[in-house]
Amino acid sequence: MNSKLVVAVDVFDCDFALDLAREIGREVFAIKVNWPLIMVRGSSIVSELCRYTRVICDLKIADIPNTNSLIAGRVSEEGAWGVISQSFPGEDSLRAVVEAAGSTRVFSVVAMSHPGAKQFIYPNTEELIDMSLRAGVYGLIAPGNDYSMLSRIRSKTRDLTIMTPGIGAQGGSPEEALKNGADLLIVGRAIYNAESPIGEVKKLNSSISAFTAAAGNKQLS
């Protein structure tokens, strides 16, 4: 399925997450898991979800290099397609994630979608981008609800893959995010809280496909 949707499943209920993955896995690009599921089931939830679709581990790794290596290595062993790391701990910490992740793709956070990001992260975004490029990341996390910042990040990164939170519940428009440089769109509550998650996924895929057909479509693997 050539979808640009990454479904964030920010819940504690592992059975719910697995049922959702069975339902929508073939219709989305990936499912994104955060700490709540891992706190309940451990890292094995990653390999369980991998039966149904790609899995991105949104752990926002932010520690010293040795600890980062342990975390990134573990999710890679569980079969994660991608992992998200913070970039602000420094280039050595981020590089440790990239090296330990192996074939698992590393996305570094250079801007976030909540208002508080403007206090510290936004003033340092350009430096965080440069650091991420030097560390060799696969892609970046940039806000899908702040189009000027997203466009600014895209202008500095050329072909790096940009994955954007902030779509739906935080006000971002899929079409506007794609127009301003996003490659993958993170949508969570609007899908997993929907009466019909698969129906919501198909509706979003349809509208996104119509837009990308006109604008051109970047293929990811």
Answer whether 172's CB lies under 8 Å from 189's CB: no
Rounded to an integer, what distance in angstroms lies between the CA atom of residue 176 and that of residue 183?
Answer: 12
**164 by DSSP, 3-state: which?**
strand
Rounded to an integer, what distance in angstroms lies between the CA atom of residue 211 and that of residue 206?
Answer: 9
Answer whether 106's CB lies under 8 Å from 83's CB: yes
Provide the residue type at 27 as one letter: E
Contacts of 191 (CB under 8 A, 6+ apart): 5, 7, 24, 168, 197, 200, 201, 204
Residue 60: active-site member: yes
Owner of token pair 């609800």? 145
User: Which one is catalytic: 4, 60, 156, 218?
Assistant: 60
**92 by DSSP, 3-state: which?**
helix
Tokens of 133: 């490029």
Give, in order, the Cα–Cα distances in Å from 109 to each of 48, 118, 142, 216: 26, 13, 7, 25
What is the set of active-site residues? 60
